[in-house]
Amino acid sequence: MNARYPIAGVLWLAVGLLLGQNLAYHPDPKWQAPARAARRPNPLAGRRDVLAGGRRLYVRECLACHGGDGSGLGHAANLRATQMKQQSDGTLFWKLATGNLRRGMPSFSHLPEIERWQLIDYLRTLDRKGG
């Protein structure tokens, strides 16, 4: 009877991987952008010409933790999740700039602002292209 539990765990993990969900990730309810930051507009919103640059940044800066399709590895956030898609560009910009070391997310304030906006535009495509 004890042998069933490891098998059930493996099956649950397999189902989660097949669905593209990071079962280990739970959003941090305390990591909230200030209202002013959340309202900040993305100067590059809707510009398809910046996506290639955003993809290069994603590969260089994000892929190791969030995976090729953005679904997250280990405890990293699933960037394809509804919770991420519902956040404003300003919120994502603030989160990239501040990081959340409590949850293992470094700050990317070292990137120029324009590159952070490019990265956000690319993140918005992950759910459509699968990575």
Per residue in 44-90, pLDDT tens? 998 999 999 999 999 999 999 999 999 999 889 999 988 888 999 99
Q: What proportion of the chain, given as a percentage, has pLDDT over 90?
A: 62
- Contacts of residue 120, defined as CB under 8 A and 6 or more positions apart, other chains included, come to 42, 54, 89, 92, 93, 96
CATH of domain 4-129: 1.10.760.10
What is the rounded CA–CA span in Å between residue 75 and residue 27?
10
Confidence of residue 25 (pLDDT cuts 50, 70, 90): low
- Which residue is it, tokens 């399709």? 69
